[in-house]
Amino acid sequence: MRTCTHEHMRNNVYMLYTIFVGNISSSCLDCICQTESDCQNAPCKQDLGSLSCGYYQIKEAYWIDCGKPGLSWESCAQEKSCAEYCVRANMSRYGTYCTQWRTPTCKQYGLIHNGGPKGCQRSNNKYVKKMRRHCSGILVG
């Protein structure tokens, strides 16, 4: 008989939510993960006056925007399935808002992730160059 732990149930819930939340492709999500941390569970570090943590370098305000999934901001950022849910939720929430209701490109999703709800409307050549280095096979503009 298989024992179902709280952790296992929580991961299944995130996977189920992922099916319904956000149109960002898995390859684009992986591109952002590679760009942010080489898709490693990076320790929290100071970034522009606040801490960024985990696979996607998630800040507390970003975690609040995605609905506060998981046990806490830091634990969610450091648990890949929770962090992915958070990124998908924010891309679902802000993706077409930023692009004036057009489907965002992976480059635009990356700029939203890095620069906030209107990030795709701002130029961030440093982040785009970093995306290009980490995202072979994905057109990022």
Active-site entry in 38, 47, 74, 84: 47
Distance CA 20, CA 42 (A): 27
Active-site entry in 36, 38, 60, 84: 36
Distance CA 79, CA 124 (A): 28
Query: Any catalytic annotation for residue 38?
Result: no
Both tokens assigned to 112: 């939203």
Beta-strand runs (E) in 6-131: 45-47, 50-52
CB 73 within 8 A of CB 63: yes
Query: Any catalytic annotation for residue 84?
Result: no
Q: Annotate 70-98 with DSSP letters as a single string.
A: SSSHHHHHTSHHHHHHHHHHHHHHHHHHH
Four-CA torsion 122, 24, 62, 37, nearest 10 degrees: -90
Map tokens 């490109």 to a residue. Answer: 105
Q: Which residues form the catalytic set? A: 36, 47
